[in-house]
Amino acid sequence: MPDYIKNMNKRGCNGFDNYIEQIRFPFYKKITKNQVIHFDYPFTALVGPNGSGKTSVLQALYGATRGNSVSDFWFSTSIDPIEESGSDINRFIYKFQPEGYEQKVEVLNKRTQRSKTEKQEADPDYWESARPSKRDGMVKMPENYDVSLEGVRTKTRWRPINKKVTYIDFKAEISAFDKCFYFGYFEKTPTIRNKKDFLRSRSKALSKGINSSAPFLWHKRLLRKMRELNSNELNWTNKILGKNYISAKIVSHNFFNQDGFSIIFTTNDNSYSEAVAGSGEVAVVTSVIKILKSEVHSLILLDEPEVSLHPGAQLKLRDLLFHKVTKDNCQVVVSTHSESFLQDLPSKAIKLFYRDKVNNTYTVAPEASPEQAFFRIGGERASGRIVYVEDNLAKLLVETAIKEIDEQALKNFTIKPYPGGAPTIIKDLAIYFSLSNATESDSIVLLDGDVNPNVAKIRSDDISDSDLVNLNDIFKNQTTVSTNALNLPLSGGNMSNEAKIKQKNDLLLQVLDAFHDHFNFMDVDTPEELIWEISYSSPKLTALIENIDVTIPYKDRFIELAKEMNSDNINSDHILQAQDFVLMKRDKEHHLWIEFKELLIDILQIHDISDNN
């Protein structure tokens, strides 16, 4: 884990002025009504499938700041009208503590229609801050206030948060060359027969302008602005891209028939433009400039920054963002599908978007581990069916057994150790399975036998309404995990207590069923026990284990064996090697080994897979 994440985990949100602490949506696009998102960490990752509302949340945060509007991105047209009726007016409410004020306040921002006046045109997509709404659970404005607060409120409402914002949509960060090549227009002439000829001609003129020290005008085409990246911008650009540019110029112009920019990179060998460089390099340069330019306490919003960047570059870009968080107390919110941006983040920094199938809206889980979030968006699903186990030894044991049953069958599975131990696996994956489309045949969990509840299964259909008062006890008895330990994706908001209880119970019942559908247990307490008990007596193995006390726990026996095979200075790799050595000496006819293989055949339906190949 990088030091900057460790340090930020300790610091939290302390010292961040004008910090947006939460945003809630009584009615907004396709987001579940009254959904609340808490920003408990200064770097927040919004994760979910395409179309789940991540960008909509970024646009709301942008529109929350003074002088900006959601309608800069989202507005009504004849083809895509924004339909509203009655009280269903698109609106959101955000909370922050204004500078110079001791209390936290909520600001209501809503869409309305502005009538035409002498000074301004009519606007059907006008967003403005509004009076506190009682039906949305807001508190009335304090009637008496000091004149010193006129900067943060009027008589009837709180003013929007006064916070600079940097919004970067990486899909839009394209150069003048790419804009022309993919979307541009030109007039054919005897010498310009295609787009290639056009770009060559205009690039020649542009090159003259770049080499000129004065403003350059060519056939009404203007080179507006040109500047070199400063040392800090160039350093971060090189760090993210893994390059060694000695300089870079960014040029604003309209030489390709529309406004755009070009970038000229210089190395020790030569110079070249963005036409040669990749689109990822262009996006990095423009983003680095914008991010470093962001003022202290700014809000930085990034939409899919992983576009065109390889995983290593994504991590370095995240380094830059955390640099701004740490140095300038900036608040960063990122929408992403990338595992790199999630890596090592605390669960409270990750907001997981998922579809509410009943209401056809999208709900946001308040916390998610990086693994849980990545699985949710389809990570590692391409390699076939996944079997989650507790550790590397369990992985070794399962893979060895599958190979012995049918060696070709192993390619249909990914055996994946899940970090955190059995309780973490249960609470993370049971929730994930309950919310996803994962079936019990392609997402399987196999835990050690010592965590098996060993009780008769109770499913949601077995629990009557009168039994719901005991649901917490039933859940713990069935799964061994307390409901208090679960990060249930409750929408919260302005719901009645009765509605909140029903929502929680419905989710718990879904999670309970998912647990019974996907979770399985070994028929021995631990892999160590199974491997030790099925070992075959060979002269070499006998010589190694003859001095080991067989009354100590199985895990400790393998520690002692690792010492016998190596030295007293051992680590986990040495222990796993010792376990692998004993497993290779197994008695293949031992009843425990046969029973374990039969368990896998039953759980994994290996024969069915083999027959279908």
- Nearest Cα residue to 539 out of 583, 579, 585: 585
Most confident of 190-204, 313-327, 401-415: 313-327
Supply the pLDDT for residue 222: 47
Q: Please report, as a single letter, which amino acid is at residue 315.
A: L
Angle between helices 572-584 and 554-565 (to 10 degrees): 100
- The domain ranges of the chain are 3-164+295-350, 171-290, 380-534+586-613
Supply the pLDDT for residue 535: 87
Instruction: Please say if the pLDDT value at position 273 is more than 60.
Output: no
Percent of the chain with pLDDT over 90: 45
Supply the pLDDT for residue 25: 95
Single pTM value for the model: 0.65
Under the banding of pLDDT at 50, 70 and 90, the label for residue 518 is: very high
Supply the pLDDT for residue 579: 94
Identify the CATH assignment for 3-164+295-350 out of 3.90.220, 2.40.160, 3.40.50, 3.30.300: 3.40.50
How does the average pLDDT of the chain come out, rounded? 84
Supply the pLDDT for residue 608: 33
Q: Looking at 15-140, list the stretches that DSSP marks H as alpha helix, in order from N- to C-terminal side.
A: 54-64
Instruction: Please say if the pLDDT value at position 213 is more than 60.
Output: no
Supply the pLDDT for residue 444: 94
Question: Rounded to a whole number, what is the distance in angstroms from the first to the last CA of the chain?
Answer: 41
Looking at residues 470-492, what average pLDDT do you find? 89
Supply the pLDDT for residue 296: 95
Supply the pLDDT for residue 514: 94
Supply the pLDDT for residue 527: 96
Beta carbons of 97 and 19 less than 8 angstroms apart: yes
Supply the pLDDT for residue 219: 47
Supply the pLDDT for residue 212: 57
Q: 484-502, pLDDT tens digit by residue? A: 988 888 766 677 888 889 9
* Residue 446 CB partners (closer than 8 Å, separation 6+): 387, 388, 389, 394, 398, 520, 521, 522, 603
**CA count, 13 A, side-chain hemisphere, 235:** 6
Beta carbons of 507 and 488 less than 8 angstroms apart: yes
Q: 43-95, pLDDT tens digit by residue? A: 999 998 888 889 999 999 999 999 998 888 877 665 667 676 667 889 999 99
Q: 9-29, pLDDT tens digit by residue? A: 988 888 899 999 999 999 999
- H helix or E strand, kind and range, residue 251: strand 247-253
Instruction: Please say if the pLDDT value at position 381 is more than 80.
Output: no
Q: 417-439, pLDDT tens digit by residue? A: 998 899 999 999 999 898 876 77
Supply the pLDDT for residue 577: 94
Under the banding of pLDDT at 50, 70 and 90, the label for residue 300 is: very high
Under the banding of pLDDT at 50, 70 and 90, the label for residue 220 is: very low
Instruction: Please say if the pLDDT value at position 452 is more than 90.
Output: yes
**What does the alpha-carbon distance between residue 491 and residue 128 come to, in Å, rounded to a whole number?**
25
Under the banding of pLDDT at 50, 70 and 90, the label for residue 118 is: confident
Got the DSSP string for 556-607?
Answer: HHHHHHHHHHS-SS--HHHHHHHHHHHHHTB-TT-HHHHHHHHHHHHHH-HH
Supply the pLDDT for residue 583: 93
Q: 222-262, pLDDT tens digit by residue? A: 455 667 899 999 999 999 988 888 888 877 766 656 666 67
Q: Please report, as a single letter, which amino acid is at residue 250.
A: I
